[in-house]
Amino acid sequence: MRKEIHERIDQLHQEMIEIRRYLHQYPELSFQEEKTAAYIADFYENLGIPYQTKVGGNGVIATLKGGKPGKTVALRADFDALPIQDEKDVPYKSKIDGVMHACGHDGHTATLLSLAKAVQPFQDELPGTIVFLHQHAEEYAPGGAKPIIESGALDHVDAVFGTHLWATTPLGVMQTSKHAFMAGADRFEIVLQGKGGHGGYPHETKDAVVIGAELITKLQQIVSRRIDPLKTAVLTIGIFEAGNAFNIIADKAKLIGTMRHLDSSIQKQVIEEMEQIIKGVCMSNGATYTFNYLKGYPPLVNHEEEAELVRQACENIPEITSAEFVPPVMAGEDFSYYLLDKPGAFFFTGAQKEGNDIPHHHPKFDIDERALPIAAKTLFEAYLAYQNK
C-alpha cells in the first residue's frame, strides 16, 4: 500500500501545482476565507469524502475512516493569506490587490487535498481514521486553531501532525524538534502622551519623539541585560508613529511591536519589566502612557515521541536527503494549540527555490513546487508511523 500511495502522490503532482497556483491567484485574508473554504469543501464533495464546514469559523474538516482498526490522526493545513502586495513576475501572481499567499498556505492546502485524493482509493486498507484538518486564520491572532479545538471537532482525535513548506530550507530537507520548535508570539502597543509645541521652544514641551526614542533604547536592554542569557526572548518595535510637521514638537507617540519567547516564565518577566520601564521613562519626562499587551500564540512544543516518529518516517521517502532536529525558530504558529491538546509534531518541509533566499512574508515570496509531493508523503508517513508505533 505504501508504494502505491507514494506513486499516486507523484501522479498527482501536476494537479497539486494547479491547485496551489489557483489558490495563489485568489488569496483571502484571515477570517475572510469563505471562497477558499468553499473550494476545499467542493473538493471533498467531488471525492465523496464526508466533511464539515464552518468549524470554529471558516474551518473545513474531512474524515476518511479506514477499513482496518486503528487510531484517529489529524493532518493539518492552513489556508489564509496576508495583507501584502504580490510583486512576483509569474503567471500565477495574485489577482487580489494587496493580498497574497506570502507564507505557503496555498501549498499546504494543495498538499493536503491531493493527499486525500491519493489515499481514498486505498480506504479499505487504511488503519484507523485520517482527519483532514483545513484551518482558517493562522496568520492573525487569536487564530483559527483555538476555536476549532473549542468546537469539540477534534475531541476524538488521538494525535495531530502538520507541516510548513519552509522557503529558506533546501529542497529535500525535513526539519523538526523534539522540544520547543517555534516561539510564542505576542503583540503590544504603547501610546505616550507628552506636550506638543513650537519646534523653536523645546523647553516648553514634553517631546513625545524624544521620550519614545529613550523608551525604545531602554526596552532593548530587557533582553540584553535583564533576561538570563541562557534563555531566549526577542523584543522588537516595528512601528514608531509621531508628529505631522517638521517644525512642531509632537505631543503623542505610538509604539507597536512584538515579543517572542519559548517559555511562559520569560513572557511574564518581560511584561513586568516593560511595565516598569515605561512607567519610569514617562514619570521622569512628565508624560503619561497607555500600555496594551496582547498575548498571542503560545510556543509550539513538539511531543518527543511523535517528533521522532516523523524523523523515522522520512527514511521511507527517497526524496528526503536529510531529516534534522534543529534549534527553535522565533516565528510563531497557532499549531501550538493543537499540541497543548493532543500528542503530535510539527515539521518544516524544505521548499527553497534554487538561488532564491527570499523569506516568508515577503512580497516576492515563492516556493519550489517539487516540495509539494514530499510534504504529502511525509504527512502520510507520519500518520502511518503513529498507527504502527
Final residue belonging to a domain, choices 262, 297, 332: 297
- Residue list for the binding site for Mn(2+): 103, 105, 139, 164, 361
Domain of residue 370, CATH code: 3.40.630.10
Walk along the chain (389 residues) and give the pLDDT tens digit of each residue.
Answer: 999 999 999 999 999 999 999 999 999 999 999 999 999 999 999 999 999 999 999 999 999 999 999 999 999 999 999 999 999 999 999 999 999 999 999 999 999 999 999 999 999 999 999 999 999 999 999 999 999 999 999 999 999 999 999 999 999 999 999 999 999 999 999 999 999 999 999 999 999 999 999 999 999 999 999 999 999 999 999 999 999 999 999 999 999 999 999 999 999 999 999 999 999 999 999 999 999 999 999 999 999 999 999 999 999 999 999 999 999 999 999 999 999 999 999 999 999 999 888 999 999 999 999 999 999 999 999 999 999 98
Residues 236 and 219 occupy one common structural domain: yes
Residues 22 and 108 occupy one common structural domain: yes
Domain count for the chain, please give it.
2
Residues 351 and 383 occupy one common structural domain: yes
Catalytic (active-site) positions: 80, 138
Residues 72 and 84 occupy one common structural domain: yes
Question: SS3 for 75?
Answer: strand
Residues 168 and 25 occupy one common structural domain: yes
pTM metric for this prediction: 0.95
Q: Give the neighbor-by-neighbor strand order of the sheet with 159-170.
A: 51-55, 59-65, 127-135, 68-78, 159-170, 344-352, 173-176, 322-325
- Residue list for the binding site: 103, 105, 139, 164, 361
Q: What is the 3-state secondary structure (H, E, C) of 147-175?
A: HHHHCCCCCCCCEEEEEEEEEEEECCEEE
Residues 188 and 147 occupy one common structural domain: no
Domain span at 256: 184-297
User: Across-strand partners of 182?
Assistant: 300, 329
Question: d(Cα 60, Cα 42) in Å, to the nearest integer?
Answer: 11
